Each structure stands twice: as structure tokens, then as C-alpha cells.
Structure 1
Amino acid sequence: MFGTSGIRGQFGSDVTSDLALSVGRAVASAGYDRVVVGRDTRETGTILRDAIVAGLRECGTDVVWVGVAATPTVARAIETHDADAGVVITASHNPAPDNGIKLWNPSGQAFDTAQREEITRRVEEDDVELVDWEGIGSYEEAAGATGAHAETLRGVADVVSDLSVVVDVGNGAGAVTADVLHDLGCDVETLNGQPDGRFPGRPSEPTAENCEALTQLVAASDADLGIAHDGDADRMMAVTGDGEFVAGDVLLALFARDAAGEGERVAAPLNTSLAVDDALAEVGATVTHTPVGDVYVAEAATADDVPFGGEPSGAWIWSDQTLCPDGPMAAVTLVELVSRRGSLSDLVAEIETYPIRRDSVETDDKAGVMAQVEDALRERYDEVDDLDGVRVDTGDGWFLVRPSGTQPLVRITAEARSDERADELFSDAKALVEAQAGHAVADD
């Protein structure tokens, strides 16, 4: 039921009001007595909100509705309202037909593995505890969650330069970024600033391809940098003043090097570039690998020696602030970094990058293919990491074979410090996957 970041899928088939009602009942029955609820800009969120709230209240849980807001805004509001958990109705960066449900703890950390398993079990077994009419949970509407988030963000940065920033809100819930940057003294221009869950301005995911209008606008103007969010603003990506979209691994390296010090670790998924390892080595810090998914990055960031964690897809976590990926926090932090250290273009140029190769092989038997691939790799290599898929570190590079969580694909990623070695690692890994996928087809 849960993927790498909550429950998510097409509204009306994968994600329905029946499911939302069941999740609300399960959360309440699991002992969460007071729950904050919010949603992103998708109109289907109103239907899921009503169902979630009904399920929570009819099992005795009090509900605090904070309205349409960014995911990190809602996650931060849990502690503010002395609640036990939070629910955000969002499909994050997914297309407009999708929607979903994310569950949060007061620390801002997403529900961990044990919590997700309990909610899943209660939904599947219909193990819920309905109350009579006298025991139903209360409902209140609370204004000010976005304002409180903004106040916190204004307190973590001191933007002293008069920077010009373009903020592409992506028709989502992340307009708080533009407001805070303006308050901090920046000249701010917004793009796709009107909340609209159909995402008419661009697809919700802030990729280089989807942010072409932002890169063109920044390049054609005197802006110092550009910021882009997804629909619920848990992600943030950036564009240099020259109009160059900054790769996620590079942005991760910049944040990590600034946040971590001697002897500390940074949490990042095991498909993260060697550029991050090398950037951290300059300050005496290291990378600790996690499975792919910001849920797992957040779990690793609970350790005392992990001040920061992130994913190249745009999820950034500063553990002393919140364990929820906070796109507005990342935007403010990046602008403060540029103000303090110089242009984003120059900062990006400091990060040495390496050739990385990615592709996928289609198969209807992901589990079978992965099992055969792992067996074959264990015969060839002494050390094989099966934390998430199968990863092999060869010393001069690495490759990862990992099943897609949502599609009938096995993904292959390879990186090395030279083109030739990256091509070699990638070709070998892909050939192995294709051979096993061919065997799976033949067996059928």
C-alpha cells in the first residue's frame, strides 16, 4: 500500500475515498488521538480530505484542519498544535490525475517502517475501533500554519545581499518561498504562482525538461538564480543565473558540504553520485547510504552525527529543523548560501562531476530477474550491497541494479571517474539484466 513516499496513485482507481476512509480509521485506531490534516492544490484532495477526516473522527480522533498548504508546512504544524500525527493529502510531484496520502510524526519524520506496516495491516484486516456518537472526535479549522512556517524560515537565514530570485511555484502550494525571500530583502518574481491542481503551467515534477520556462526566464533576465518546487513543495531544484538547471547530485553536494563537518555523515540514497563523496571528503565528512526514498533518508538523519540528508530528486532535510523534506527551507538556505559565498554558477563549478549512465529493462518478473542478477553478481564480486536492489562498488566506480517501485522495469545506474569505465560498468550490468530478463520471458 505504501510506496517510497506514502500512498500514491491515480485518483478513482488506486486512491479512492474508500481507501482514505480506511486510512483515517486505521490511524485513529492505532492510537493517534489528535491529528493535523492538510492538502495540496489538487481538487480531488477535497474528496479525500472529507473521507480521511470522517475516518479519523468516527474512531474518536480529534482533527485540526490547516487547509491548503505545503507538505513541510503541515508537518511542522503537528508539533505546533500538540498533535500526535499529521496527514497530508498529496501526490507530490506526480501528474494531475494522481493523488495520495502521506503520514507524519511530530518530529516531521514520515511514518517509519513499523508504523506503515501497522496502518497497512489495520486497513487490510479492517482492524478498526469505531466509537458511538458521544465519542466522535472533534473538528477545528486552524489558520496560520503557513505564517508560522514563514516565521521559522525567516529566522534561519539572514539574506544580506539584494539578490534577484525567480520562484517557479509550479501551480502548487509552495508560495511561502516567494513571501519569505521577499521579506528577507530579495527581489522576487514568481512563475506559475496561481494555485491550480491541474498544473497548467508545467508538469509538477521540477525536472530540467519541465523547468525550461524557468531556465529561459532566468537567463533572459538579471536574476541571480531560480527556484522550482513540485506540487506540495517538499522538493526544491535550482537554476543558476546563467540559466543552467543544477543537477540534483550537485545541489546535494553543495548543501552537504555546507551542512556537515569533520567526522559527521550525510544521509543519501545509494544511487547518489561520487561527486557528493568527494565534496564531503574536503570537509572531513562522509556519506551514509540509504534505500531510495526520502522516508529512509529521514530515518538515517535521526542519528546525532547526521546533520543533513537529501535525495538528488530534490528532497532536502536539515535534521535540526525538521525531518520532513522542506522545499521552502532549501530555497532559503540556498539563497543564503549564494549571498554568503558568491554566485550559484561559481558554486556549481566547484563541484567535480563524473559520467553517469542510466537505463531500464522492461520485465514482468522483477522479483525473479533481481534474484538471478544478485546470484550472478555474488559469484563475480566479494562485496555486494543488497540494501535496495543490488549495488556493487568497484573502487573506481559503482553500479546499481534496482527494480522500479511503480513500473514493470528494472533500472540500471552506473558511474565512474572516466567515460570509458562508466560505459564498461554500465554495459556489463545492463547485459546481465537483459540476459536474466530474457530467461524470465523464455520461462513464461
Structure 2
Amino acid sequence: MSLIKSISGIRGTIGGKTSENLTPLDTVKFAAAYGTWLKETVTNKKVKVVVGRDARISGKMIQELTMNTLIALGIDVIDVGLSTTPTVEVAVPMEEADGGIILTASHNPKQWNALKLLNNHGEFLSGEEGSKILKIAEMESFHFAEVDALGQLSKKNDYIDLHIEQVLRLSLVDVEKVKAARFKVVVDGVNSTGGIAIPKLLRAMGVEVVKLYCEPDGNFPHNPEPLKEHLGAICALVKEEKADLGIVVDPDVDRLAFIDEKGEMFGEEYTLVACADYVLSKKKGATVSNLSSSRALKDITVKHEGTYKASAVGEVNVVKLMKDTNAIIGGEGNGGIIYPEAHYGRDSFVGVALFLTYLAEKSLKVSKLRQEYPAYFMSKNKIELTPGLDVDGILKSVQKRHENEEISTVDGVKIDFPENWVHLRKSNTEPIIRIYTEAKTQQEANDLAQKMIKEIEDIIA
């Protein structure tokens, strides 16, 4: 199957051979590497780590292995149990912990799991920090605690409730306005922890909830990535229930997608656009998304007389640029909302609360709100390369051919044409170039992608 080691953690499939999959031995090794790094970093006190998981079938097993490894290193562990990625991110500073681990493989299918690693701010590690942990894992230079110095385990099961309370206190969340709107919402929790968290949040805001796939047993009823082709059931149920909208989250609840009252996708790219539109309508400021996210965020930001910047792909890169520019909202086009007033992490709780407040304030149907935004369409492709080809050289050739256009080389090559754009990125794990395009029609986006593929093929030839 597969085991992927990266600066943000370790991700793999359950079962199979060690070093090729996420086996118990691999789990212990990387948990020990993270714990060892923390102990080397925090030298003035006993280390404390928050650990939580989504509802994957393998989650309890992987969590027990992870927590007991940390305890064996002499680290105190706070077990928040079934949780979400943003909830663990919030819990770390609340507990004054030195780090956090979320056991989740995000939108990957049920055979996958992962250890996602956080710093003492509840934010993902930097590239430098992640590289140190990978090196420690490779060397297996662990020193476990003697029996009297073992870590202690404590359980806290109320952090989803505490997270909801924090969200409802945000300055731009108006619970009374949402209650007055009397919304009816269908929730697809993909049988993970979103099925616990999002209905709780909605009920706290006075919303009538219709639950779909909200049993947190880890048996995902469809591909858990919240894309249109996977969401036929909720689209149909929104219409059947005559609901105002549908809400879809991924298994760890950091990606958020909406369905309008007609059972049509609002568009994952437009989750951030709508929330930013609301925030910017109340306060002028900067926004940030990554280079592969929709141009619509830039358009909305400029409309509100703000400034927009684009980062390299990856949440840690978005967060860094948000801090550098003092951005008031940002995120990623895959439905990830990062709102600094809450914390620096993608958070569907925050996205839901902001979106419903805005919808109530504008007193619009979701489909009508969508029509207020620029219409863009994306195409996502890849071109497979022969191993050994000079990918950087190929990208430089593309850049040279389009040197008179607006070009960014922050992350691969992005070419901004007047009416559309293309973003070319090499993969770090396989010999491919990812090709993302966006234009004002789907056909135009598809045609631009094919044109770039042909151009790359000509360069290789």
C-alpha cells in the first residue's frame, strides 16, 4: 500500500509491512520521534501533549499506540478522544500544552490514517521542525523514561463543546440573528466526528438539523473528499427536506462545503470567498489564499478595498503569509477557513458560524448569494513524466515562454493571464507535474489545461 513521510507528519495505510504502511511499529517510531523532538525543545519543564482523533476504524488503535509511546518517553498526555483537527488545535493553547497530535488522514479513504503534528500554538509545524523530526525517526535515537518518570494520562471529553463556545463568542458571529432566521440545514458528517460537532454547533445557533451519515463509526458511506461527484445523497435530501442549505465536512472537519436550497453545490472554492466577503464587509484588511485557489477571493478583497496575497500551497505557508501581512481572514480553496480571531488553522466550525450569520444578515437564499460572486471554473490535471527528467528545467522553460505575463515562482510556476490562470507544480513524491487552471467557463479552463499539457510535451520532445 503506502506510507508517506512529510514535514507535517506521517500518513499511510493500515496493515501490511513495516516501513511501507502505517503499522504499529511505524506509529510508535514516529510518535517517539515527535516526543523526542519536543523534549529536546522544551527543557525547563515536563512536556505535555494533547491527542485526539477522528472516527476512523483504526483510530482508537493508532491513538493508544501514540499516547502510550509519549507516556513511555515521560510525556504527560491529555486525551480529548473523538475530536476534530480544529478542536485539537484550539485545545493545545487552552491546556498550555507543548504540542498536539491529531490522528486523522483528512479526506483519504478509511484504510488510511495519519499522525498530524502541532506546535505549542496548536499550529502545524514549520518545514525545519518537521525535517528535524524525520531525521530523529530515521536515526531512531530515542531515550525512554524510567518507571518513576513515566508520563501521566488524563482524559477530557468536553473540548468540542468548549470549541463551540469559543466560536459563538467571535465578534462577527451573531447567534440571535441566526436563530431569528429559523434555518433548516442538512448535515453530512461522513460518519466521522463532524457528525457530532456540526449538529451541536447548529443547535446552539437555533438551527433545525437533519442528520445524514452522522454516526461516528468510521464507515465512510462515500468517498470522504467533499466533492460534487461524492455528494449525491445530501444534494437530494436538501431538496426533499426543503432545507435552506446543506453542510458537508471531511472526516476531521477542517474542510467545509455548502449545498444550496436547490441541491446544487455552492462550490468548495466559494466557502472562503463568502466568509471573506462577510468579514471584509465589517472590517477592511488583507486576505490570503494559496496559489491554486480561486481568483474570486482576490476580486472580493479588491471590491472591499483590501489587499490580497497568494502563498505557496500548504496550510503552514498560508498561515505564515497571513501573519506576515496581518490578514484578517484567509485559507485554502478546498473549503478551509482560517480566521485569526479564532486561531491559525482551517476550521469548519468558524466557517459555518460566519456563513450562517452572513446569510441571516443578507436574508438571501444560498443560490442567490452564490450569484453575487464572480463565476470561475477550475480544471485539475496532471502530466506523468519519465523518471529522471529535469522537472525544474521544464518549468523554467514554460516560464521563459510566458515571460511577458504576470508570473509567480513562489511554488512552481503560476501564470496569470488577463482572463484566466494556470498553476504548474511538481510533485515531491512522484514524477508528475500538477496542472491547475481557472477560467470563466469550464470549457475554457479545460482547454487551457490541454494547451499547457501540449506545451510541456513539446518542451520534453
The answer, yes or no, to whether TM exceeds 0.5 is: yes
**Aligned position for 2:328:** 307
The answer to whether the 8 A contact 1:316-1:325 is kept is yes
Give SS of 2:390's match: helix
Distance 1:35 1:343, change over 3 A: same
Number of positions where the alignment pairs a residue of Structure 1 with one of Structure 2: 437
Of the three residues 92, 113, 129, the one matched with 2:127 is 113
Q: Could you tell me how far 1:371 is from its partner in structure 2?
A: 2.6
What does the per-residue CA deviation read over 1:156-180, in whole Å, with 9 as the maximum and x for residues that have no partner? 3312311111111110111211112
Q: Residue 393 of structure 1 corresponds to which residue in structure 2?
A: 416
Q: Is the 8 A contact 1:233 1:326 kept in 2?
A: yes
Residues 206 and 358 (structure 1), Cα distance of their counterparts in 2 relative to 1, 3 Å cut: closer
1:220 and 2:226 equivalent? no
Which residue type is aligned with residue 329 of structure 1?
Answer: V
State the alpha-carbon separation in 1 of the partners of residues 219 and 254 from structure 2.
18
Deviation at 1:425, TM superposition (A): 4.1
Give the Å deviation of 1:421: 6.6
1:155 aligns with 2:169: yes
Q: 1:311-390 to 2 correspondence within 5 Å?
A: 311-341=332-362, 342-365=364-387, 368-382=390-404, 384-390=407-413
Q: Which position in structure 1 is the counterpart of 2:197?
A: 176
Rate the CA distance shift 1:69–1:340 in 2: closer, same or farther, 3 A: same
Which residue of the partner structure matches residue 72 of structure 1? Answer: 86
Equivalent residues in 2 for 1:7-22, closer than 5 Å? 7-12=10-15, 13-22=20-29
TM norm structure 1: 0.91
Give the distance between the partners of 1:69 and 1:237, measured in 2 at CA. 19
Q: Is the 8 A contact 1:401 1:429 kept in 2?
A: no
- Contact 2:190-2:251 within 8 A present in 1 as well: yes
CA deviations over 1:244-303 (Å, ceiling 9, x no partner): 111122222212222236762211110122222211111012321112222322222324
Q: Provide the C-alpha distance between the structure 2 equivalents of 1:230 and 1:406, rounded to a whole number of angstroms.
A: 24
Specify the alignment match of 1:209 in structure 2. 229
Alignment partners' CA distance in 2, 1:173 and 1:304: 33
Q: Indicate how the Cα distance of structure 1 residues 71 and 49 shifts in structure 2: closer, same or farther if over 3 A, else same.
A: same
Q: Which residue of 2 aligns with 1:432?
A: 455
Is 352-361 or 67-76 further displaced after alignment?
Answer: 352-361
Compare 217-226 and 356-365 and name the one that shifted more: 356-365
Q: How does 1:279-318 map to 2 (within 5 A)?
A: 279-303=300-324, 305-318=326-339
Give how far 1:5 is off. Answer: 5.5
SS at match of 1:101: strand
Q: Distance in 2 between matches of 1:235 and 1:332?
A: 14
**Change over 3 Å in CA distance of 1:182–1:366 after alignment to 2:** farther
Give me the whole-angstrom Cα distance separating, in 1, the residues matched to 2:345 and 2:331. Answer: 11
Residue by residue, what CA displacement relative to the aligned partner does 1:373-430 show, whole Å, maximum 9, x if unpaired? Answer: 3234225415642222211223443211112455553221223457787566434321
- The residue that corresponds to 2:296 in the other structure is 275
2:433 maps to: 410
Calculate the aligned-residue CA RMSD, in Å.
2.3
**Unaligned 5+ runs, structure 2:** 40-46
Percent identical residues: 27
Q: Does 1:125 align with 2:148?
A: no
The one-letter code sitting in structure 1 at the alignment partner of 2:168 is R
Secondary structure of 2:67's aligned partner: helix
Structure 2 partner of 1:255: 275
Cα distance in 2, alignment partners of residues 109 and 45 from structure 1: 21
| Pair 1:263–1:152, CA change in 2 (3 A) | closer
Amino acid at match of 2:110: A
Contact 1:40 1:90 in 2 (8 A): yes
Task: Give the direction of change, closer, same or farther, for the CA distance of 1:292–1:18 in structure 2 (3 Å limit).
Answer: same
Aligned counterpart for 1:193 among listed residues 203, 214, 230: 214
SS in 2 for 1:351: coil
Residue ranges of structure 1 left out of the alignment (5+ in a row): 440-444
- Kept in 2: contact 1:3–1:405 (CA 8 A): no
Instruction: Report SS of the residue matched to 2:323.
Output: coil
In structure 1, the residue matched to 2:42 is none
Name the aligned partner's letter for residue 317 of structure 1. Answer: I
1:264 aligns with 2:285: yes
